[in-house]
Chains A and B, each alone.
Chain A
Amino acid sequence: MANDTKTASSVQSRMKLRDNITRYFSFSAIVILLVGLSLTQQNFLGAANIKNMLRDTAPLMIMSAGMTSVLIFGSIDLSTGAMCSVSNVLFVQCLNVYCANLPPWLATICAFALSLSFGFFAGLLLGMIHVKLKVPSFIASLGFMSVWQSAALLISDKSVSVQKVMWFATDWFKIPVLGVIGLPLVLALLIVGLVYVIQGHTTVGKNLYAIGGNERAARVAGVPVDSTKISVFVVNGLCAALGGIFLAAKLRSCAPTTGDPFTLLIVASCVLGGTALSGGRGSALGTIIGVFTVALINNGLNFIGVSPYWQNVVFGVFVLAAIAISVDRSVRGLTIK
């Protein structure tokens, strides 16, 4: 990069422009979609639909919050969806199995604990392999994607419902707050808020952006690169696990492939929220916008009655477009570590 002030300032303004375009892209997409859909479709802005839509975003919101940090320091975790699936089936199976021997409240706690521990250890394992054994994150998480997908199928190879006696363990999902906003979304926003605080106001967050900006320089400057990276993967694992629990609560059942389509949606949300794949930029707050954009598109397409088969195509194209806009073209050979 040139030290020449003229080119340097134009690089910075180009960066700002690009960030703004991405953010305004999402904002304007939301506005256009909201306006367009509410005008052309009846009941789109009806309470029922809005309530559903907002509640639906909760799992995506939580998981995207975790992934944002991973992207900021320049890595990626492709196994997030699979971890979500495992946690999903684990939670429901635990509820159903333990309720036979334990009082319901204890069974619930066990189920939560088990799912969250899984997320913790899955993230820890991935982090250790990436950091200590120096395996690039995309291939390591690819390997784990396969392992966790199979693990989910091992735990339960078909959809299982929560037994009636344990329904209270999932009923919290329906608690309304402020009318249309449900408890899940509030919790999700709290978690995003927590991530935001960590990113912006703690030493860990400061280190995160440093590592994402230039890992080598951060390391030489004495930033604890290894422990920061591992912690972020652990948090991502926890978020994935939490997402799986939320999904189980929403449907009051589990399915071994629940989480699989989420990985792409999570990446889409983060990128649309201004987090670059190359690292060093992005924030949890931006991710909120990205999540709403994605949710709106999803919900909108459903509402219109677009064949679900188009959704795959739409999201794939959308993600590529969002990344294409946000990629820093002056960087040759993006390094995903």
Chain B
Amino acid sequence: MDKRINRASMSIIDEFTEKVRNENIKEHVIKTAPLMVLAVLVVVFSVACGASFVSKDNLVSIMNQLAIPLVVALGLTFVIMIGSIDLSINGSVGMAGSLMSCLVLNSLYPNMNMGLWGVLLAIMASMVCGIIIGIIHVKLHIPSFMVTFAFLYICKGFGMLSYQGLIPTIRDPLLVDAAKASFIGVPFITWVAVALFAVCYYIQEYTAFGRHIYAVGTNESVPRSVGVNVDMVKIKVFTLAALLFGIAGVIGTIRLGQGQVGVGEGLMFPAQAAVVVGGTSLSGGKGGVLNTVTGVLIMTVLNNGLVLLSVNPFIRTALSGIIILVAVILTIQRNNQIISK
């Protein structure tokens, strides 16, 4: 009787291991799915739109379009990796852009001419917001979605206050040229985005901070028990995200040529969708910037293709929300509760 029990009981453990193995298979599928989706999209649009999609002009256009969403999504990625979320994107971006346009040589405040210092100050303002968000979230125990949702309005407000409805046009020659500059056919703005991606990848893969982000997102008690300052990690993440949002605002405004809070409009949902679709899970501890690049590519190619097919712009924007819903539904781990931290 002992042998029978042993064999049957071994199979309970084997059943358990099998269950875990199945979950791992699901993980692997989730890992490769984004690339497959991108490939499918490219094929579908090549067939549906023909030459207008695969033309060199359109490819350059896609690279232009993905620059700012990429920078924003990079910042958001780190936040989502620690299991939080950042809803302040539109406000942060808008505020940085508006501030910068008021500090450099512009049409509204003719006495201001801070040049690159103005750019730097605007980005710093965003970063300061990020620090405050992090501190409020960590010290006052307010969930990240609430803090950042409030800051969406606060930052937007500050942004609008800076120009009070009279949109300043940028007159600084350096910045005006930067909007048109390009290097080997690719515009300067896109190069900035690529450089930032490299920096983020470095942070994620080659610093202790990057490793700690994964740990905090997986299970906070483990890094805490080893002496890692989990609170500082979180504050740093929100600061880094806000910094990236600020840069996005600045380069977006340079491209636009004028300062208005609207430069941040419509950035949040595609960014959220890009991060989730790329494979970075909302529960944290998984994914990374490489995943986000794929996600941003998917969203940009999708948008580009739909524009070529003359799909109603409002349907296109609704798509981000639907994609978020579908991606989360498909990838969520039903047994883990996503704690909104």
Given A313-B158, A324-B140, A334-B142: A134 touches B340 (CB 8 Å cut-off): no
How distant is the Cα of A312 from the Cα of B317 in the complex, in angstroms? 24
How distant is the Cα of A170 from the Cα of B334 in the complex, in angstroms? 46
Determine the residue in chain B with the shortest Cβ distance to A332: B141
| Contact pick for A316, options B140, B145, B150, B337, CB 8 Å | B150
Given A153-B314, A316-B150, A335-B337: A310 touches B329 (CB 8 Å cut-off): no
How distant is the Cα of A329 from the Cα of B136 in the complex, in angstroms? 12
How many chain B residues touch A (CB < 8 A): the figure is 46
B147 touches A309 (CB 8 A): no
A157 touches B141 (CB 8 A): no
Per-position binary interface string of chain A over residues 122-149, scored 1 when its CB falls under 8 Å from any chain B CB and 0 otherwise = 0000000100011110111011111101
Main secondary structure, interface of A, reads helix
Determine the residue in chain B with the shortest Cβ distance to A334: B143
Per-position binary interface string of chain B over residues 286-327, scored 1 when its CB falls under 8 Å from any chain A CB and 0 otherwise = 000000000000000000000000001011011011101100
Task: Find chain B residues with CB under 8 A from A51 CB.
Answer: none
Task: Find chain B residues with CB under 8 A from A78 CB.
Answer: 145, 149
A264 touches B339 (CB 8 A): no
Q: Is B341 an interface residue (CB 8 A)?
A: yes
A334 touches B341 (CB 8 A): yes
A336 touches B340 (CB 8 A): yes
A264 touches B149 (CB 8 A): yes
Per-position binary interface string of chain A over residues 315-337, scored 1 when its CB falls under 8 Å from any chain B CB and 0 otherwise = 11101100110010101111111
Task: Find chain B residues with CB under 8 A from A319 CB.
Answer: 146, 150
Determine the residue in chain B with the shortest Cβ distance to A323: B142
Determine the residue in chain A with the shortest Cβ distance to B333: A134
Per-position binary interface string of chain B over residues 67-104, scored 1 when its CB falls under 8 Å from any chain A CB and 0 otherwise = 00000000000000000010100000000000000000
Task: Find chain B residues with CB under 8 A from A314 CB.
Answer: 157
A316 touches B338 (CB 8 A): no
How distant is the Cα of A315 from the Cα of B338 in the complex, in angstroms? 28
Q: Is A33 an interface residue (CB 8 A)?
A: no
Q: Is A277 an interface residue (CB 8 A)?
A: yes
Shortest B97–chain A CB gap in Å is: 15
How many chain A residues touch B (CB < 8 A): the figure is 48
Shortest A68–chain B CB gap in Å is: 16
State which residues 288-315 of A face B: CB under 8 Å.
Answer: 307, 309-315
| Contact pick for A150, options B157, B272, B314, B328, CB 8 Å | B314
B154 touches A133 (CB 8 A): no
Determine the residue in chain A with the shortest Cβ distance to B339: A335
Per-position binary interface string of chain A over residues 12-44, scored 1 when its CB falls under 8 Å from any chain B CB and 0 otherwise = 000000000000000000000000000000000
Q: Is A181 an interface residue (CB 8 A)?
A: no
Determine the residue in chain B with the shortest Cβ distance to A311: B157
Q: Is B245 an interface residue (CB 8 A)?
A: no
A264 touches B150 (CB 8 A): yes
A313 touches B320 (CB 8 A): no
Per-position binary interface string of chain A over residues 144-168, scored 1 when its CB falls under 8 Å from any chain B CB and 0 otherwise = 1111011101100100000000000
Given A78-B149, A144-B325, A147-B322: A139 touches B282 (CB 8 Å cut-off): yes
Most chain-A CB neighbours within 10 Å: which of B136, B312, B320, B340? B340
How distant is the Cα of A337 from the Cα of B157 in the complex, in angstroms? 29
Determine the residue in chain B with the shortest Cβ distance to A315: B153
| Contact pick for A135, options B153, B321, B329, CB 8 Å | B329
A337 touches B337 (CB 8 A): yes
Q: Is B48 an interface residue (CB 8 A)?
A: no
Given A324-B140, A331-B141: A146 touches B318 (CB 8 Å cut-off): yes
Q: Write the residues of chain B forming the contact surface with A, with a CB cutoff of 8 angstroms.
A: 85, 87, 136, 140-143, 145-147, 149-154, 156-158, 160-161, 164-165, 220, 269, 272, 282, 312, 314-315, 317-318, 320-322, 324-325, 328-329, 332, 334, 337-341
Can you list 9 A-B contacts with CB-CB less than 8 angstroms, sorted by A residue number?
A134-B334, A149-B317, A150-B314, A153-B317, A264-B153, A267-B149, A307-B164, A320-B150, A334-B341
Q: Write the residues of chain A forming the contact surface with B, with a CB cutoff of 8 angstroms.
A: 76, 78, 129, 133-136, 138-140, 142-147, 149-151, 153-154, 157, 264, 267, 277, 307, 309-317, 319-320, 323-324, 327, 329, 331-337
